[in-house]
Amino acid sequence: MNRDYLDKEALQGALNDAVIKALLNQEGALANYIPELERVDPNKTSIAIKFPSGDILMAGDAKDHYFTLQSVAKMIVLAGLLEEEGAEKVISWTGMEPTGRAFASISQLEKFGPVPANPFVNSGAIALCNRIPGSQVEDKLQWLTHWTEKLFGAPLPVNQEVFESEYRTGDRNRAIAYLLKSNGVLRGDVDETLRVYFTLCSYQANVMDAAHLPMLLANGGRDVEGRQILNSSTCKYIIAVMATCGLYDSSGSHLVHTGMPAKSGVSGLVVAVALGHAGVATSSPRLDSKGTSIRGEIMLKSLSKALNWHFAS
Amino acid sequence: MNRDYLDKEALQGALNDAVIKALLNQEGALANYIPELERVDPNKTSIAIKFPSGDILMAGDAKDHYFTLQSVAKMIVLAGLLEEEGAEKVISWTGMEPTGRAFASISQLEKFGPVPANPFVNSGAIALCNRIPGSQVEDKLQWLTHWTEKLFGAPLPVNQEVFESEYRTGDRNRAIAYLLKSNGVLRGDVDETLRVYFTLCSYQANVMDAAHLPMLLANGGRDVEGRQILNSSTCKYIIAVMATCGLYDSSGSHLVHTGMPAKSGVSGLVVAVALGHAGVATSSPRLDSKGTSIRGEIMLKSLSKALNWHFAS
Amino acid sequence: MNRDYLDKEALQGALNDAVIKALLNQEGALANYIPELERVDPNKTSIAIKFPSGDILMAGDAKDHYFTLQSVAKMIVLAGLLEEEGAEKVISWTGMEPTGRAFASISQLEKFGPVPANPFVNSGAIALCNRIPGSQVEDKLQWLTHWTEKLFGAPLPVNQEVFESEYRTGDRNRAIAYLLKSNGVLRGDVDETLRVYFTLCSYQANVMDAAHLPMLLANGGRDVEGRQILNSSTCKYIIAVMATCGLYDSSGSHLVHTGMPAKSGVSGLVVAVALGHAGVATSSPRLDSKGTSIRGEIMLKSLSKALNWHFAS
Amino acid sequence: MNRDYLDKEALQGALNDAVIKALLNQEGALANYIPELERVDPNKTSIAIKFPSGDILMAGDAKDHYFTLQSVAKMIVLAGLLEEEGAEKVISWTGMEPTGRAFASISQLEKFGPVPANPFVNSGAIALCNRIPGSQVEDKLQWLTHWTEKLFGAPLPVNQEVFESEYRTGDRNRAIAYLLKSNGVLRGDVDETLRVYFTLCSYQANVMDAAHLPMLLANGGRDVEGRQILNSSTCKYIIAVMATCGLYDSSGSHLVHTGMPAKSGVSGLVVAVALGHAGVATSSPRLDSKGTSIRGEIMLKSLSKALNWHFAS
């Protein structure tokens, strides 16, 4: 799978260049709709690349910069359900079309509904959280723990402050969930589903942790020891949805400019799949108006250009 | 670039299987908004694959089934302007985001405007036709002729009946063009720009002709003799936009299911890029409600599965 | 205020004619989103006119046909708050523009928001219920009891089965309420506000009861004994909002055809103000696609024509 | 019809007060999408009231302040067609529902279409201009001349500069017209229909001229000599549509605050019907963000309050 010879020095140079370009940019603002997300240091900036060989390269504040996964974690529930329930069922629970709208858009549910447009808008991820097997919240959280460990190669802690902050202020997501319930898409208790969803968003990692899942995807679902963690069909599905829907209404320009299917989160994390090469994770909390990390995109563009990691090259 | 050994018999078998699956489906209806498009034989079904080596494989009515390119031709003006004017200018004329809406949507222009969302919705292609160099319609048509020949390896004829049919009934596109003019996006004479646009849609080909351009894209811009017809950066741009916007509001599910970035036209043509492998063209005029050839999608899914040509595999 | 001589026989004839025309129509369907509303007899049809003199005329099942007020009750909270808090505050809590959309539209909140478009869409009425004075649900229900008795001249019972049915199935309204909370429009506990709102919808009456409030409005706020129950300015405000927003996206055609500002409910009740004449209430549960009673509109048109009660005549 | 004793001094005082309040406001901007409309004196401010008795009162620059009717002229074609073709046909050509959107909205045509929402949005008026009897533009203009004279009591000149300015820059209206043609609503030549429409908008008057038509409407269709110029049913139709749609997405608040059904134009003219009393015309060219004259609304609110001319009082 790995089509190119890895010259570590050249790679490290590309990473360093990417971080330097990013640090020169001071634009953007912290996400402000979850109080806890506003407390982070706005200057933290880090990048890591993980190769199927197990090699990891990094630059910036990679080791000591922790953040919550936020929407990047939507990949966990999607992957787990694709593996356990199959694509056909997942498609019946949420579509796979870009919306041309923001991540928490409610209008799109009235327009496209009853089923959410794709698994990466909030409504889609909430609908999937509702389908996690288990009769109680604890069972579903256990399922999440299991899959998170599988997909990131190690357990990730839940940031309880962020969870409480999201739970306390998550009225827009409550509105989405009740609308899904009203549409007949969401079954059972709304509050329980939201507790699962808010927990999902609150997993905590640094970029070295975060680069594991995109590495798996870049490597056909196999981990560094060659074990098949995800089926090839699951990888194709997820990567394709990342390509078209991963950055909401910036997905198109992201794909043109970087060629690396990616998923962003409002904490400033972006994970990206360098197809045939490696998994990439960047993190920096200042966001543009569409909720994407500005420095993250700068790093990914720089890297894609330097290493010619565009999927269409 | 060509990563796999070409076993022609296996390939031909995959093509034949694809056509057989397609022929079993009788769903869909001919495009009816251009009278001339309704006159075609609804059962025509053909597929061709063109390899960077120059090898062409085909199945179905590949040789004698001619059709107009329709929206597939939007790739011509995009490619020509990217080459001659550069990406920065093209981006200032039309965005690159999927819309979540139909190809001739006007609401999206009010929502996303003033600049069209991407080069593959009608408004985007009309905006680009307006930027073709030349002071008169004849100059612009000459530019089109030049680029069409370059991109398809041979001159393509214009179907004058289809052109006249489109010109006579193209009031929705006139509405779009006047709205672009009103937004300050379109310069000069609306009717002249539309004559260019309707000509563009009326180029005629069979699947063997049509497979040339996606082969160029799959081959980093080089033709069968290794000449660089398109820059690598142009190829990346076009393929990325095909991936996210090529089939309008079916782009997401197409990419998940086939993994081949594609562009569809209402004549029933779909051209698809099997990255690292070949260019593919399928044609069959019965369309689903979103304007995509039903048999075309069946053939592409079948082929992708049989040959493992998904971009994320 | 009463500009015309009341010929009771002629009036009774007009009422009878109206009911007969209505009974000939079998179109429409019962509201089905609240289970309890589907249990009513679809053929019940009644009309009543109440004059400032205290005279009441009626036809059809006027006496024994009871129904819940549903959205007609939105007038109660609007009237009470206008009287107690004043127009300026009410306007800051909800606008007064027609939406061109359905009564439970959520998209309109994203488009027009954060404040609801008008007090007669669900979001507007929920926002107003949130502003009823009182620290606990009981206080607010007492406020409602007080105003209901004032506006209908007698206490109205709450239909507990309908309340429970609405409460159990009201997820769309929960979605609206959480969105309002997320927008900063709704304060305090969502469930408490919804309990008030669902109670409001569940007041029960027959057409003779229901005609009292529009009679007050037609009479400048004075009751049959000449007491000023509502200020003139409150009446003007409510009647104007009824004229433009009373029947959601049928408000325009209703006003053209009947000339009587009105408010409809999904139980099939419509109350209408015959300006300078009388209050009218019609009830029949079969609804058109926009949620208005079909027979109700037939009766109101017939009456308006027979008596020349169009506001612009 | 005239319910109140006319104390001319008190009335003149109310007019003067209204103008003084208006002159204190300096907000708003001239319409800028038609170049000719930007050339007017932004401070011109005038008001006139015309009574069924023939009495006219005025204040401000009433005599020497001329302006084009703009959208107020949409009432002419509506009135003429209602009289000559009947309500049923007019309703089949354009609806009568408020849109919740701006006057030149195109999205609403995609949402509500194919038929325009009401006769006072541009699409509705263009659709009606298309139905004016006559085989050639000249015939239709003659029809307009005839009806304009009838409705304003005297011929009005066409401002040729404004017509040319609108014709030259009217691309948004061209877009609307071609969309109507594409929807099958508009027949024949688009440019010819637009020439009629732009002429309609370019009739010129002062407030004394302009107050004639609302006086007719306030007087049941009769002129100052008691001749029946418009049928009562036509008056009811027009007044009801003015009430719900006359000021686009400000119609609701206008009706609440003034109680006088009205029609606005981007030249700054507003004509209003004081039901049972008189016709009112105000003019001042500074507009708010929704295209309504700011000083005009100040004058109408002041007048309504001073004279208690609210339709619901």
Task: Please give the full DSSP string across B276-307, using - where no structure is assigned.
Answer: TTEEEEEE---B-TTS-BHHHHHHHHHHHHHH
Please tell me which of the candidates A217, A237, A255 has its beta carbon nearest to residue B256: A237
Give the distance from CA D117 to its chain's centroid.
17
Residue C195 sits at the chain D interface (C-beta within 8 Å):
no
Query: Start-end ranges of CATH 3.40.710.10 in chain C?
Result: 8-70+204-307, 85-199
The alpha-carbon gap from D265 to the nearest alpha carbon of chain B, in Å, equals 20
State the greatest distance between any 2 C-alpha atoms of chain A, in Å, as a whole number.
Answer: 56
A220 is written with which tokens?
């056909």
Residue C35's pLDDT is: 84
Residue D150's pLDDT is: 98
What is the value of ipTM here, to two decimals?
Answer: 0.95
Q: To 5 degrees, how large is the angle CA D16–CA D19–CA D22?
A: 150
Residue C99's pLDDT is: 81
Mean pLDDT of C144-158: 97
Digit-coded pLDDT (tens) for B185-225? 999 999 999 999 999 999 999 999 999 999 999 999 999 99
Which site among D75, D91, D97, D241 would you substitute to test the C interface, given the most C Cβ atoms closer than 10 Å to its Cβ? D97
What residue has token string 């170049």?
D35
Portion of chain D with pLDDT greater than 70, in percent:
94
Active site residue A203: no
3-state secondary structure of B91: helix
> Sorting pLDDT into bands at 50, 70 and 90, what band is B2?
very low
Residue A3's pLDDT is: 45
| Sequence letter at residue C219 | N
What residue has token string 């010619």?
A308
Is residue D133 over pLDDT 80?
Answer: yes
The alpha-carbon gap from D253 to the nearest alpha carbon of chain C, in Å, equals 6
Is residue A111 over pLDDT 80?
Answer: no
Mean pLDDT of B125-130: 98
Which site among D112, D126, D179 would you substitute to test the B interface, given the most B Cβ atoms closer than 10 Å to its Cβ? D179
Q: Does domain C85-199 have CATH number 3.40.50.12280?
A: no
Residue C100's pLDDT is: 73
> Sorting pLDDT into bands at 50, 70 and 90, what band is D146?
very high
> Sorting pLDDT into bands at 50, 70 and 90, what band is A186?
very high
The alpha-carbon gap from C109 to the nearest alpha carbon of chain D, in Å, equals 12
- Could C100 and D101 be called an inter-chain contact, meaning their C-beta atoms sit closer than 8 Å? yes
Eight-state DSSP code of residue D48? E
What residue has token string 């640090």?
A23
Instruction: Provide the number of CB pairs (under 8 Å) joining chain A to chain C.
Output: 57
Any bridge partners for residue A56, and if so which?
Answer: A50
Residue B5's pLDDT is: 53
Taking contacts as CB-CB distances below 8 angstroms, the residues of chain A near B98 are: 97-98, 100, 244, 251-252
3-state secondary structure of A13: helix
Taking contacts as CB-CB distances below 8 angstroms, the residues of chain D near C235 are: 312-313
- Of the options 3.40.710.10, 3.40.50.10320, 3.30.1330.50, 3.40.50.2300, the CATH number for the domain spanning B71-201: 3.40.710.10
Which site among C106, C181, C194 would you substitute to test the A interface, given the most A Cβ atoms closer than 10 Å to its Cβ? C106
Digit-coded pLDDT (tens) for C30-51? 998 788 888 889 999 999 999 9
B67 is written with which tokens?
């059709």
DSSP C133-145: S-SSHHHHHHHHH
Q: Which residue of C has its CA nearest to A108?
A: C107
C82 is written with which tokens?
């206008």
Q: Which residue of A has its CA nearest to B231?
A: A313
Kindly tell me whether chain B and chain A come into contact, counting contact as 3+ Cβ pairs under 8 Å.
yes
Choice among A2-11, B92-101, B297-306, C185-194 with the minimum mean pLDDT: A2-11
DSSP C44-108: --EEEEE-TTS-EEEEESTTT--EE-GGGGHHHHHHHHHHHH-HHHHHHHS-----SS-TT-SHH
DSSP A211-241: THHHHHHHTTTB-TT--B-S-HHHHHHHHHH
Query: Start-end ranges of CATH 3.40.710.10 in chain B?
Result: 8-68+205-307, 71-201
Domain A8-32+41-68+204-307, what architecture? Answer: 3-Layer(aba) Sandwich (3.40)
Full-prediction pTM beyond 0.90?
A: yes
Digit-coded pLDDT (tens) for C69-100? 999 999 999 999 999 999 999 999 999 998 87
Dist CA D146 CA D116 (whole Å):
26
- Could B236 and A259 be called an inter-chain contact, meaning their C-beta atoms sit closer than 8 Å? yes
Please tell me which of the candidates C107, C110, C175 has its beta carbon nearest to residue A178: C175
Q: What are phi and psi of C205, to 5 degrees?
A: -160, 170
Dist CA C269 CA C280 (whole Å):
10
Mean pLDDT of D107-135: 87
Please tell me which of the candidates B99, B220, B255 has its beta carbon nearest to residue A243: B255
Residue C2's pLDDT is: 44
Q: What are phi and psi of C78, to 5 degrees?
A: -65, -50
Digit-coded pLDDT (tens) for B252-279? 999 999 999 999 999 999 999 999 999 9
Dist CA B232 CA B239 (whole Å):
11
> Sorting pLDDT into bands at 50, 70 and 90, what band is A32?
confident
Any bridge partners for residue C254, and if so which?
Answer: none
Which long-range contacts link A259-262 to residues 24+ away (Cβ below 8 Å)?
A259/A304, A259/A309, A259/A310, A259/A311, A259/A312, A259/A313, A259/B236, A259/B240, A260/A300, A260/A304, A260/A309, A260/A310, A260/A311, A261/A311, A261/B312, A262/A300
Rg (C-alpha) for chain A, rounded Å, is 18
Dist CA B17 CA B303 (whole Å):
8
Active site residue C266: yes
Is residue D109 over pLDDT 90?
Answer: no
Active site residue C5: no
- The class that CATH gives domain D74-201 is alpha beta
CB contact at 8 A, A177 and A226 = no
Query: Start-end ranges of CATH 3.40.710.10 in chain D?
Result: 8-28+42-70+205-286+293-307, 74-201
A58 is written with which tokens?
């990094």
Please, what sign has the CA dihedral across residues B48, B50, B51, B53? positive
The alpha-carbon gap from D245 to the nearest alpha carbon of chain C, in Å, equals 8
Choice among A31-45, A164-178, B2-16, C221-235 with the minimum mean pLDDT: B2-16
Mean pLDDT of B121-125: 95
Query: Is cis: bond before B114, omega within 30 of 0?
Result: yes
Residue D29 sits at the chain C interface (C-beta within 8 Å):
no
The alpha-carbon gap from D308 to the nearest alpha carbon of chain C, in Å, equals 10
> Sorting pLDDT into bands at 50, 70 and 90, what band is D111?
low
The alpha-carbon gap from A179 to the nearest alpha carbon of chain C, in Å, equals 5
Portion of chain A with pLDDT greater than 70, in percent:
95
Q: To 5 degrees, how large is the angle CA B284–CA B290–CA B296?
A: 25
CB contact at 8 A, B29 and B258 = no
Rg (C-alpha) for chain D, rounded Å, is 18
Say which of A66, A197, A203, A237 is annotated catalytic. Answer: A197
Residues 79-108 of D with CB under 8 A from C: 95-101, 108
> Sorting pLDDT into bands at 50, 70 and 90, what band is A231?
very high
Query: Is cis: bond before C133, omega within 30 of 0?
Result: no
Eight-state DSSP code of residue A168? H
Q: To 5 degrees, how large is the angle CA C122–CA C106–CA B117?
A: 160
Digit-coded pLDDT (tens) for D225-258? 999 999 999 999 999 999 999 998 899 999 999 9
Domain C8-70+204-307 CATH superfamily: DD-peptidase/beta-lactamase superfamily (3.40.710.10)
Query: Is cis: bond before D114, omega within 30 of 0?
Result: yes
Tell me whether residue A26 is exposed, middle or buried, using C-beta atoms within 10 angstroms of its C-beta: 0 to 12, 13 to 18, 19 or more.
exposed
Query: How many CB atoms are closer than 10 A to CB D160?
Result: 12
Question: Under CATH, what is the fold of the domain D8-28+42-70+205-286+293-307?
Answer: Beta-lactamase (3.40.710)
Residue C248's pLDDT is: 86
Dist CA D173 CA B182 (whole Å):
9
C191 is written with which tokens?
């469930």
Cα dihedral C67, C71, C73, C78, rounded to 10, equals -170
Choice among A249-253, B110-114, D241-245 with the minimum mean pLDDT: B110-114
- Residues of D annotated as part of the active site: 71, 74, 197, 248, 266
Q: Which one has a higher pLDDT value, D305 or D38?
A: D305
Q: Nearest Cα to C282, choosing from C291, C272, C290, C76?
A: C272
Mean pLDDT of A152-166: 96
Q: Chain-wide mean pLDDT for chain A?
A: 93
The DSSP H or E segment spanning B269 is: strand B269-274
Taking contacts as CB-CB distances below 8 angstroms, the residues of chain C near A182 are: 171-172, 174-175
> Sorting pLDDT into bands at 50, 70 and 90, what band is C3?
very low
Q: Nearest Cα to B220, choosing from A122, A311, D184?
A: A311
Is residue B108 over pLDDT 70?
Answer: no
Q: Chain-wide mean pLDDT for chain C?
A: 93
Query: Start-end ranges of CATH 3.40.710.10 in chain A?
Result: 8-32+41-68+204-307, 71-201
- Could D179 and B175 be called an inter-chain contact, meaning their C-beta atoms sit closer than 8 Å? yes
- Could B96 and A253 be called an inter-chain contact, meaning their C-beta atoms sit closer than 8 Å? yes
Dist CA C253 CA D94 (whole Å):
11
Q: To 5 degrees, how large is the angle CA A144–CA A221–CA A186?
A: 35
Residue C127 sits at the chain A interface (C-beta within 8 Å):
no
Residue C155's pLDDT is: 97
3-state secondary structure of C303: helix
- Could B175 and D171 be called an inter-chain contact, meaning their C-beta atoms sit closer than 8 Å? no
Mean pLDDT of A268-279: 97
Say which of C167, C203, C237, C248 is annotated catalytic. Answer: C248
Any bridge partners for residue A109, and if so which?
Answer: none
Q: What are phi and psi of A47, to 5 degrees?
A: -145, 145
Choice among A35-39, C54-58, D114-118, D206-210 with the minimum mean pLDDT: A35-39
Residue A256 sits at the chain C interface (C-beta within 8 Å):
no
Residues 6+ apart with CB under 8 A from D137: D192, D195, D196
Active site residue A197: yes
The alpha-carbon gap from C44 to the nearest alpha carbon of chain A, in Å, equals 29
Residue B176 sits at the chain D interface (C-beta within 8 Å):
yes
CATH number of B8-68+205-307: 3.40.710.10
Dist CA D243 CA C244 (whole Å):
7
> Sorting pLDDT into bands at 50, 70 and 90, what band is C287?
very high
- Residues of B annotated as part of the active site: 71, 74, 197, 248, 266
